């Protein structure tokens, strides 16, 4: 249990550095450190599928972020600091944080299996009958590709659309400029 | 973007083979060991990102033309939808696993019905999409080119 | 207590996304919020002394071993949902960064207050 606390405090400190530093490249590198910490937490939470995916997605995300920040204006000095707006935002976020802590006290303790205390939980069916109904030894793969395959279809659609949008935005120049288009002849 | 020195180019052309092999292993064994289609697809994309960083964008564009990658992307999505519709035709409901218990035995490579084919389709789709977007990001505008005003 | 740390991480990301003026910092704030939510969802399914939800040859030897597996495996459902969420966050990160790059090319700065004033 203490390993969780050590890793979570490391992640929180890295995120504080990423938020407060003025150098863009430093905050991107802190995001990379956070991602590796999150992957370690996933490994200790007994989720190896997600740990593998988090590491490789983290590396590709770092490449994308560094592409955007390298040799642009790295140190950023703002003109007027807008003191009042910052104080009001911090106060509101603090109030929401305190209210949220009251909600988290109603949740069960960390580590007690929540799905065993809820009657007719779906996870009990997945664990006990997953191998004979689907034949897959990896229960997470049987959940995403057999029991909940519709969610995977939605995820493929969202990924397709976002990549389509990003590729269209980054196109070099338009194919048909207004000078090259032939006017439609009226007949 | 231009490539790097000769040492980086030599090493990365050997390492690329290992990365592609690892990605294919993670996709194919997705129903037996941790991994699956998503992680394997991202690993496949990152092998070509390594090539692009070491050799430059022009070499990769000649090596793997963008039209082929778009076609692979659409092929992956099409295969996934076809598996779902075949489930409707043969099984009665959309996306049902209609090949379960038809071949193989549990805990072997050939098992689990349509799950390996879905893994391959998802791996193709995710890998091709991510390669396309990183290639577009690298070659859209030269890094270091300043604003136009 | 661990849930409270996840919530604190989410609030730090929210503060960064709301208060900062640099566009890449706003993207970094959104990324921190996504990490916090994924962590929280997987933490909900943990069980003390649990094992990963992958069936092995040793679990199929006897009925007692299978019962032991069923009674001590962690929840596979939040893991399946978080798996797709991680890959979607990469796609949305690509879209946000391409927006930032295009805006930088047109206006020459990452500052959002400058972009507001250069209207027209």
Question: Nearest CB to A135: which of B30, B77, B113?
Answer: B113
Q: DSSP letters of A8-53?
A: HHHHHHHHHHHHH-SBHHHHHHHHHHHHHHHHHHHHHTT-HHHHHH
Q: What is the CATH number of domain C2-47+68-117?
A: 1.10.287.3510
Q: pLDDT digits over C14-60, tens only?
A: 999 998 888 889 999 999 999 999 999 999 888 888 888 888 888 77
Q: Could you state, in order of their start, the residue ranges of all structural domains in chain C?
A: 2-47+68-117
Question: Nearest CB to C83: which of B38, B141, B149?
Answer: B38
Q: What is the ipTM of this complex?
A: 0.90
Contacts of B107 in chain C (CB under 8 A): 55, 57, 60
- To the nearest whole Å, the CA of C77 is away from the closest chain B CA by 15
pLDDT in the model for residue B149? 35
Q: Which of A127, A74, A26, B6 is nearest to C104 (CA)?
A: A74
Confidence of residue A179 (pLDDT cuts 50, 70, 90): low
Taking an 8 Å cut-off on Cβ atoms, the answer to whether B34 and A57 are in contact is no
Q: Using an 8 Å Cβ cutoff, are A41 and A15 in contact?
A: no
Q: pLDDT digits over A140-176, tens only?
A: 998 898 888 889 999 999 999 999 999 888 887 655 6
Taking an 8 Å cut-off on Cβ atoms, the answer to whether C42 and A12 are in contact is no
Q: Say if residue B148's pLDDT is above 50.
A: no
* CA B13 to mean position of chain CA atoms: 18
Taking an 8 Å cut-off on Cβ atoms, the answer to whether B119 and A57 are in contact is no
Q: Using an 8 Å Cβ cutoff, are B135 and A165 in contact?
A: no
CA distances for C99 relative to A72, A170, B66, C27, C49, angstroms: 15, 9, 22, 11, 45
> pTM for this structure?
0.88
Which subunits have 3 or more CB–CB pairs within 8 Å of chain A?
A: B, C
């Amino acid at each position: 249990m203490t390993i969780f606390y050590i890793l979570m405090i490391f992640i929180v400190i890295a995120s504080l550095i990423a938020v407060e530093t003025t150098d863009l490249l430093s905050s991107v590198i802190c995001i990379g450190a956070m991602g590796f910490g999150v992957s370690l937490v996933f490994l200790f939470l007994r989720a190896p599928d997600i740990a593998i995916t988090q590491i490789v997605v983290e590396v590709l995300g770092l490449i994308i972020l560094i592409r955007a920040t390298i040799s642009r204006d790295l140190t950023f000095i703002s003109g007027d600091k807008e003191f009042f707006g910052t104080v009001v935002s911090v106060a509101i976020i603090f109030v929401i944080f305190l209210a949220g802590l009251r909600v988290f006290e109603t949740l069960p303790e960390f580590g007690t299996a929540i799905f065993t205390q809820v009657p007719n939980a779906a996870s009990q069916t997945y664990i006990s009958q997953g191998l004979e109904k689907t034949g897959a030894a990896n229960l997470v793969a049987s959940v995403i590709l057999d029991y909940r395959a519709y969610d995977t279809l939605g995820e493929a659609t969202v990924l397709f659309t976002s990549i389509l949008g990003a590729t269209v935005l980054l196109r070099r120049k338009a194919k048909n400029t207004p000078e090259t288009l032939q006017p439609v002849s009226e007949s | 973007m231009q490539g790097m020195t000769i040492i980086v180019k030599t090493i990365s052309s050997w390492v690329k083979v290992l990365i592609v092999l690892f990605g294919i292993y993670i996709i194919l064994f997705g129903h037996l060991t941790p991994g699956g289609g998503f992680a394997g697809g991202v690993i496949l994309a990152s092998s070509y990102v390594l090539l692009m960083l070491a050799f430059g964008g022009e070499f990769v564009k000649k090596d793997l033309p963008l039209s082929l990658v778009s076609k692979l992307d659409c092929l992956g999505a099409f295969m996934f939808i076809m598996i779902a519709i075949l489930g409707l035709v043969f099984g009665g409901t959309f996306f049902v696993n209609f090949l379960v218990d038809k071949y193989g035995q549990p805990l072997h490579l050939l098992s689990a019905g349509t799950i390996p084919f879905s893994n391959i389709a998802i791996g193709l789709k995710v890998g091709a999409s991510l390669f396309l977007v990183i290639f577009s990001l690298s070659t859209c505008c030269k890094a270091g080119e300043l604003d136009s005003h | 207590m661990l849930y409270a740390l996840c919530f604190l991480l989410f609030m730090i990301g929210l503060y960064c996304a709301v208060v900062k003026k640099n566009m890449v910092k706003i993207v970094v704030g959104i990324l921190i919020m996504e990490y916090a939510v994924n962590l929280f969802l997987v933490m909900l399914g943990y069980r003390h002394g649990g094992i990963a939800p992958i069936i092995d040859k040793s679990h199929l030897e006897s009925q007692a071993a299978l019962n032991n597996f069923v009674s001590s495996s962690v929840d596979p459902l939040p893991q399946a949902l978080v798996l797709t969420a991680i890959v979607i966050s990469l796609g949305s990160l690509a879209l946000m960064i391409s927006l930032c790059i295009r805006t930088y090319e047109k206006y020459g700065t990452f500052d959002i207050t400058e972009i507001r004033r250069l209207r027209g």
